[in-house]
Amino acid sequence: MLTINAEGIGKKYRREWIFRRVNLTLQAGTSYTFVGPNGSGKSTLLQLLAGNLPATEGNLTYLQNNSLIDPDNWFRQVSIAAPYVELVEELTLDELLTFHQTFKPFRNKLTPEAVAERLLLTQARHKEIKYFSSGMKQRVKLGLAFFSNSPIVILDEPTSNLDRQGAAWYHEQVRQLDASQLLLIGSNQPEEYDFCPNVLDVMQWKTR
Ligand SMILES: Nc1ncnc2c1ncn2[C@@H]1O[C@H](COP(=O)(O)OP(=O)(O)OP(=O)(O)O)[C@@H](O)[C@H]1O
């Protein structure tokens, strides 16, 4: 089982501490949602936990059955869907999924065709991503995170741009995550995390 351990981590931009003294043990098999007002640091904390941004202070470790995972291999463990993660819009959906699986295979050996079907986008397989609606693009981003074979799934503002059918699709995909996966969410929309047993307010880590 995978665990992320944060010991006293903090992030400072110029002279401003965004958060400090974050101590967390995040265990696979469940989900955690980070909540807080706009600008409170949810995205920054998720980026740190994903290993995409260095902490200014503290220690972050990934453990697999109590053995440390080399930070150089953290990226293999994580799939992230977020507003700041861009899709390659010149590619068709088919090309994007085929390209994606060359560096991150899909779960359960899903083919690009099967992934497109799960995205409810079979009809759009040969369309360039730049011609997708914002809701279709959001489903693609979420799908790359949900269907990649990575134990850690990070979703920042997961239902942005989704209509009711899209939001229902999102909840269905969450239900189908594997028991060995760890789901981390950044949100300020309660219906996005109504299933989540661990809701953490990032305001607790603000320095005064
Ligand atoms: N690269 C950066 N340089 C300087 N400040 C930054 C940078 N990135 C983020 N910040 C600041 O860090 C703080 C937290 O931003 P962050 O995007 O993590 O908040 P958030 O809680 O995810 O907000 P939202 O709900 O609006 O998405 C903000 O004050 C933001 O201006």
Q: Is the beta carbon of 42 within 6 A of some atom in ligand 1? A: yes
Rounded distance from Cα 49 to ligand 1 centre (Å): 15
**Model ipTM?**
0.97
Q: Is the beta carbon of 138 within 6 A of some atom in ligand 1? A: no
* Backbone φ and ψ of 158, nearest 5°: -60, -30
CA–CA separation, 163 and 134 (whole Å) = 10
CA–CA separation, 151 and 182 (whole Å) = 6
Most confident option among 5-9, 62-66, 105-109: 5-9
The token pair at 181 is 């996966």
> Which of 26, 86, 38 lies closest to 189, judged by CA?
38
Which residue segments constitute the domains of the chain, with CATH numbers given? 2-205 (3.40.50.300)
Rounded distance from Cα 58 to ligand 1 centre (Å): 19
Confidence of residue 207 (pLDDT cuts 50, 70, 90): confident
Confidence of residue 62 (pLDDT cuts 50, 70, 90): very high
Confidence of residue 86 (pLDDT cuts 50, 70, 90): very high
90: helix, coil or strand? coil
pTM: 0.96
Region of 127 please: left (phi>0), alpha (psi -120 to 50) or beta: beta
C-alpha triplet 143, 27, 20: angle, nearest 5°: 95
Letter string b/e over residues 50-63, b meaning 16 or more CB atoms within 10 A of that residue's CB: bbbeebeebebebe
